[in-house]
Amino acid sequence: FLLGAILPVIDEIVAYMKECDAVLRIEPAGSARRRKETVGDLDILVLSTRPEEVVERFVSMPRVSRVISQGTTRSTVIIGANLQVDLRVIPPESYGSALQYFTGSKAHNIKLRTIAVKKGYKLNEYGLFDRETGERIAGETEESVYKALGLEWIEPELREDRGEIEAAMEGRLPRLVREEEIRGDLHIHTKWSDGTGTIEEMAQKAMSLGLEYIAICDHSKSMGIARGLDEARLRKQMAEIDKLNERLEGFRVLKGIEVDIKADGSLDLPDSVLKDLDFVVASIHSGFKADERQMTERMIRAIHNDYVSTIGHPTGRIILRRRPYALNLDKVFEAAAEQGVMMEINAFPNRLDLNDVNAKAAKEHGIMMSIGTDAHAPNHMEFLNLGVAVARRGWLEPGDVINTLPVDELLRKLER
């Protein structure tokens, strides 16, 4: 399942379970808590001293299609057609260690257990214990477990054994960017190309989500099926945005485009119009079969255009459907860093492109990221949290994500 499909289910389960007063705390564990891009089964942990009531409530959830097992502290059900959800009810003294244990990842936990053994401890889902005396050292909270092992608490999104344990040991964990720090959505389509909303409808939705700005980035003309814009229609759209901005208070619509990168790396619209835009996303939408050298050169040429702000969905992969195109990302990142061009984290549920690993690599090259939902309808803007999930899994801090800037600072930064 895509993370984007799982998060609403989690919200539903949590809301329903919380109405039972035997539920003192409830959290997803496993890969869902780590915000992995795809999730297999869903693990739910509940803190309670009255487990039977919790299990009873769990199996009676409205969308349960089948109860596979029902014990005194555990249960497994199927929700809808085939989502398996496992519930574990945990007593207070073990809640932190259970949450830690069931959150994983496996590689992260193996390393933690090794550290525990070296310190003369034993770590499992029930707690952290002294190996000799069996005395309980920690377990009530995750923080207590990590602390007893000499580590700072580690954000779940980082728990992949990608250096986070070493960083926690040395007190140099990143301060991950947060959802509420994102002030705008930097990739929005409208009716002008293949979206379903008007510019104003998209702006209204963004305001209702508490955002301060959006960038309208419709397709350019070579995307014929998507009614891509030529220069004349783009100029018309820009005029409409100017008019709309006069009416909006405390909100700004940025003039942008998702300009096609053609096979030779040139752009689908002339510099004479790109230079008048606030935000230029340049993307590849065709010719995916070219070899790595061609693809890399194509993208690097686009990066060298003076008006490109960011590269849209840089690898072109569609989760569970299309592999990334052949690209030497290292060379692309080098060129982007040198030119001051950003990479997008496209937050559309089946894209998440750059992914976590590549976002981390881009950051290490000194590249800033822009997050865009690629919304083709107003409610798609709710996918912003998926982009933030990728950013967090990629170790990004607020300063690595341009969407954390207020609009005036953003525009200043974009003038390069």
Mapped onto helix, strand or coil, the DSSP state of residue 111 is helix
# binding residues, Zn ion (CB under 5 A): 3
Least separation in angstroms between residue 217's CB and Zn ion is: 6
b (16+ CB within 10 A) / e for 388-404: bbbbbbbbbebebbbbb
Torsion of CA 324, 329, 333, 335, to 10 degrees: -110
Quote the least distance from Cβ 134 to Zn ion, whole Å: 58
Count of Cβ atoms closer than 10 Å to residue 330 Cβ: 11
Q: Please tell me whether residue 157 binds Zn ion under the rule CB under 5 A.
A: no
Window 16-45: residues binding Zn ion (CB under 5 A):
none
DSSP-assigned beta bridge partners for residue 188:
216, 375
Nearer to Zn ion, 77 or 390 (CB): 390
Query: What's the min distance (Å) between Cβ of 367 and Zn ion?
Result: 19
What whole-number distance in Å separates Cα of residue 75 and Cα of residue 84? 11
Dihedral angle at the C-alpha atoms of 105, 107, 113, 118, nearest 10 degrees?
-150
- Of 88 and 285, nearer to Zn ion (C-beta) is 285
Angle, helices 329-339/356-364, rounded to nearest 10 degrees:
50
> Which is nearer to Zn ion, 121 or 325 (by Cβ)?
325
Does residue 185 bind Zn ion (CB under 5 A)? Answer: no
Q: For residues 13 and 199, which CB has a smaller minimum distance to Zn ion in the complex?
A: 199
Distance CA 336, CA 314 (A): 12
Nearest distance from C-beta of residue 312 to Zn ion, angstroms: 5
Question: Whole-number minimum distance, CB 373 to Zn ion, in Å?
Answer: 9
Q: What is each CA distance from 28 to 33, 67, 72, 359, in whole angstroms?
A: 6, 19, 19, 25
State which of positions 223-262 bind Zn ion (CB under 5 A). 258
Minimum distance of Zn ion from residue 313's CB (angstroms): 6
Q: Which of 185, 268, 344, 374 binds Zn ion (CB under 5 A)?
A: 374
Structure tokens at 256: 């942008």
Q: Which is nearer to Zn ion, 39 or 342 (CB)?
A: 342
User: Distance (Å, rounded) from C-alpha 388 to C-alpha 182?
Assistant: 8
Name the residue nearer to Zn ion (CB basis): 30 or 228: 228
Residue 283 makes contact with Zn ion by CB under 5 A: yes
Name the CA dihedral angle for 83, 89, 95, 97, rounded to a multiple of 10 degrees: -60
For CA atoms 304, 309, 315, 321, give the dihedral sign: negative
The one segment of 146-154, 229-237, 266-274, 279-287 that binds Zn ion by CB under 5 A: 279-287
- Minimum distance of Zn ion from residue 266's CB (angstroms): 17
**Of residues 164 and 374, the one with the C-beta less far from Zn ion:** 374
Q: Which residue has the tokens 């800033």?
A: 368
DSSP 347-371: -STTT-BS-HHHHHHHHHTT--EEE
- Which range binds Zn ion by CB under 5 A, 176-184, 233-241, 295-303, 366-374? 366-374
In whole angstroms, the minimum distance from the beta carbon of 187 to Zn ion comes to 6
Of 181 and 201, nearer to Zn ion (C-beta) is 201
The CB-of-281 to Zn ion minimum distance in angstroms stands at: 7
Choose the stretch contacting Zn ion; rule: CB under 5 A; options: 79-87, 104-112, 138-146, 373-381: 373-381
Residue 181 carries which DSSP code? G
The binding site for Zn ion (CB under 5 A) comprises: 258, 283, 374
